[in-house]
Structure 1
């Protein structure tokens, strides 16, 4: 009689032990399957989170003495302005976009200009010479601009400034109403040297959420007074500088690969990196991913603990049962069955029961994993959705300074206004379920535990000689 047949007969005959072993294996499998399913869901959540949040890096001109193209101009009154002969041009942008993993870019330059409009007053007073001045933001297109993409500003009428730019403008609805303007009307921007640039209004925006940095400000810093236009107008509107951007933000697909992308980019010899600084920003992703990473570590530890406890418990139970089967073992040895055949029978007995228990654990595991896992991941997503990126201030600024007194300081920030709070679309909370891959892992882990436990439990008896076994029988 083969060991498989003996195993089947033993399992069907010893129903009490078989049922008890079935329950133990079912509980073990349920917890292992729950851990595997939640771990998989957490991994998927991390991947989705990375692609939902993204990451970005910013290229700005290096306004320091280390930049050989840095220039500083001072007039007779002590007023000065700084600029660079190598701004971030479209040619530089195209070279950067050749790097794998970069999804989009948002370029911006800006200048403080006079306008023929009556501006909306700010809460901080300014000198008379600045009362009709506004920031003109020269962009690669407003649709992908950080102010609009983040939800700080929203286009409510007309169209965006196209990627190709042009002599067009998008202004706030409040500013348009104050001056009786609408789509199709024109406005003018006056440069420091007195030259004028005419722009056609093609869109109106409204301020959806006011960042703290824009609440108590002077008139030219108010978001309602910002004028967005194309880079073509920049060539006519910025004095003392070559046509280009003061800041370009590049968004990457996977923030986890941000450092690798930067390293690859720095190897591009076609870009003179002496003229630029690269600043990375994946704080939002890191802050949001931290809870999920902690959860995954906890889940993995929980899974390892389950496997260890299951192996110990199963080994103890099988060891006790093997001692009660010394008589059976002695009889089998006496009639010519080898130790390998006997161990094979013991192993087959447990595997027969485990095959059924593991299969039924699909239902119990799905129920428990669904309840525990969904609650866990929804808790993490609630925390993620509450995360907001802090205001980082200015990087790579272009400055026009009148003396050293605050009322006369005009600072042009890095082109994204201290980085508006992102308004990323978070993926929906995942539904934790048991998949085929989790079942396969369960059978592999479960069978490994069983082989280990049967080996440990049988060792005490199998290392005895037949004479010693017969002596124990008597």
Structure 2
């Protein structure tokens, strides 16, 4: 009878010992399987959520680093202060855009202005009071390429008219894209002239402070005519759960309001708008601006390239107080509970694997000590130590495989129940302020922690099955090392005396 047959007969004949070993591995296997299931599920949620967020990046000031420096150096000269604030140049943006991770990129001149006649979009169940002597506010977003990035990325969709030509971009023609909501509010169509009544509140700084009438602000305004080249709609998240309990405006509508009130135009047009606003509203004399501020947008080929792109792009920035921000950074801001759960599951896997290693080693070692006369007989009859070791390994694997396969199912159910309970607890949920600032180069993804939590599901997957079986069988095999050393030390002469 070879050692394979002896191993199988030993398992079936020693039912009590086999059941004890099975029970130990099954219980520990459930802990490992549950932890592995949670870890795999958190990774899957992170990967899928980041794909939804998109592979977009921009360059923004690192305010935390800047504030630390300012706190340590409060007596900076004006020249040093301006050096700290110096924004990246178009050459730097071009160099970053040339990195192999970038699919396409653009840099835009931002503009912000208020109006009193031209209406902006307002949510249906409430208005917004802007102050500053204006009723409505708009964002201007300059473009440096005829293919508008937000159109290519599906953030907005052109429903009427056409986008800009290369000549429009080069000459800075007075042509713009507006949202459907803004067009409807102002009865505008493609080809119409839109006269922006750019307005602002101006204070008379020379007036005495105690003279209220003299110190009262005045409203300055000027007309800035443009032509509507195209009309777009904004891709908004339409989910019934985003409606509030009273059936009001959806949360997605509020978050998309800034995008709806964005007017796209060539960079030169937005630069001219900013110049006239400074001169005609705030009475600031402007000259050729050497340090022009741009908001860059880089669209990467894949989400997996974000970290590599960030590292290489940051190295190309001359001002250390500017850094790359990516759309997927929002996940780190809002998914704190999910990250905690993933970290906990990793520690549980490690602790459970070590416990399994130790407990199985001791159980098998105790069983072998009771079987030393049996093993001594095998050695006396000429069996090699290798065959005896093979027999013990087969016995261990046969019992372990059945226990691991069963715990694969029960552990998955256990992991789902435990993780769902933990996600409902206050200490695992996000309770801090997870507000994240976005430049014009990136829009928030409208993904909340509740969305991430609802997407979390513990299910069977190929990755889960493979990871668990490899970890489980590997732990069992490692636990056999100590007992096998015991077999190597057996002396059949002393045993049979």
- TM bucket (normalised to shorter chain) is 0.5 to 0.7
CA–CA separation in structure 2 for the residues paired with 1:195 and 1:372? 62
Of 440, 446, 449 in structure 2, the residue corresponding to residue 423 of structure 1 is 446
Whether the 8 Å CA contact 1:161–1:228 is kept in 2: the answer is no
Q: Which residue of 1 aligns with 2:297?
A: 249
CA–CA separation in structure 2 for the residues paired with 1:199 and 1:295? 53
Question: Do the aligned partners of residues 101 and 293 (structure 1) sit closer, same or farther apart at CA in structure 2, a change above 3 Å counting?
Answer: farther
Whether the 8 Å CA contact 1:57–1:280 is kept in 2: the answer is yes
Q: Which residue of 1 aligns with 2:75?
A: none
Whether the 8 Å CA contact 2:193–2:225 is kept in 1: the answer is no
Q: Which residue of 2 aligns with 1:433?
A: 459
User: What secondary structure does 1:58 align onto?
Assistant: strand
Matched residue count: 410
Q: TM-score, normalised by structure 1?
A: 0.64
* Residue 57 (structure 1) aligned with residue 75 (structure 2): no
Q: Deviations over 1:308-361 (max 9, x none)?
A: 222222222222222322332333333333443333322222222223333444
Whether the 8 Å CA contact 1:33–1:434 is kept in 2: the answer is no
Which has the larger displacement, 102-111 or 39-48? 102-111
Of 308, 312, 316 in structure 2, the residue corresponding to residue 264 of structure 1 is 312
CA–CA separation in structure 1 for the residues paired with 2:397 and 2:324? 54
Q: Which residue of 2 aligns with 1:280?
A: 324
Q: CA deviation at 1:302?
A: 0.8
CA–CA separation in structure 1 for the residues paired with 2:481 and 2:112? 80
Q: Which residue of 2 aligns with 1:337?
A: 383
CA–CA separation in structure 2 for the residues paired with 1:281 and 1:296? 24
Unaligned 5+ runs, structure 1:
70-83, 215-221, 393-413
Question: Do the aligned partners of residues 321 and 142 (structure 1) sit closer, same or farther apart at CA in structure 2, a change above 3 Å counting?
Answer: same
User: What secondary structure does 2:358 align onto?
Assistant: helix
CA–CA separation in structure 2 for the residues paired with 1:378 and 1:132? 41
CA–CA separation in structure 2 for the residues paired with 1:2 and 1:358? 26
CA–CA separation in structure 2 for the residues paired with 1:225 and 1:330? 86
Q: Which residue of 2 aligns with 1:465?
A: 491
Whether the 8 Å CA contact 1:161–1:229 is kept in 2: the answer is no
CA–CA separation in structure 2 for the residues paired with 1:264 and 1:304? 34
Whether the 8 Å CA contact 1:119–1:132 is kept in 2: the answer is yes
Q: Which residue of 1 aligns with 2:193?
A: 186
Q: CA deviation at 1:458?
A: 5.1
Q: CA deviation at 1:201?
A: 6.1
Whether the 8 Å CA contact 1:116–1:187 is kept in 2: the answer is no
Q: CA deviation at 1:186?
A: 0.8
Q: TM-score, normalised by structure 2?
A: 0.61
Q: Which residue of 2 aligns with 1:321?
A: 367
CA–CA separation in structure 2 for the residues paired with 1:25 and 1:132? 68
CA–CA separation in structure 1 for the residues paired with 2:264 and 2:484? 80
User: What secondary structure does 1:389 align onto?
Assistant: coil
Query: Cα RMSD over matched residues?
Result: 5.3
Question: Do the aligned partners of residues 113 and 199 (structure 1) sit closer, same or farther apart at CA in structure 2, a change above 3 Å counting?
Answer: farther
CA–CA separation in structure 2 for the residues paired with 1:295 and 1:460? 40
Which has the larger displacement, 458-467 or 1-10? 458-467
Of 220, 231, 250 in structure 2, the residue corresponding to residue 203 of structure 1 is 231
Q: Which residue of 2 aligns with 1:42?
A: 42
Q: CA deviation at 1:379?
A: 8.8
CA–CA separation in structure 2 for the residues paired with 1:149 and 1:246? 22
Unaligned 5+ runs, structure 2:
62-77, 121-127, 199-219, 235-248, 276-286
CA–CA separation in structure 1 for the residues paired with 2:137 and 2:394? 86
Q: Which residue of 2 aligns with 1:168?
A: 175
Q: CA deviation at 1:156?
A: 10
Q: Which residue of 2 aligns with 1:353?
A: 399
Q: CA deviation at 1:172?
A: 6.8
Q: Deviations over 1:215-260 (max 9, x none)?
A: xxxxxxx999875433353476565458986322335567785564
* Residue 138 (structure 1) aligned with residue 142 (structure 2): yes
Q: CA deviation at 1:300?
A: 1.7
CA–CA separation in structure 2 for the residues paired with 1:431 and 1:224? 34
* Residue 449 (structure 1) aligned with residue 475 (structure 2): yes
- 1:51-90 equivalences under 5 Å are 51-53=51-53, 54=55, 56-58=57-59
Q: Which residue of 1 aligns with 2:350?
A: 304
Question: Do the aligned partners of residues 205 and 301 (structure 1) sit closer, same or farther apart at CA in structure 2, a change above 3 Å counting?
Answer: closer
Q: CA deviation at 1:169?
A: 2.9
Question: Do the aligned partners of residues 47 and 122 (structure 1) sit closer, same or farther apart at CA in structure 2, a change above 3 Å counting?
Answer: closer
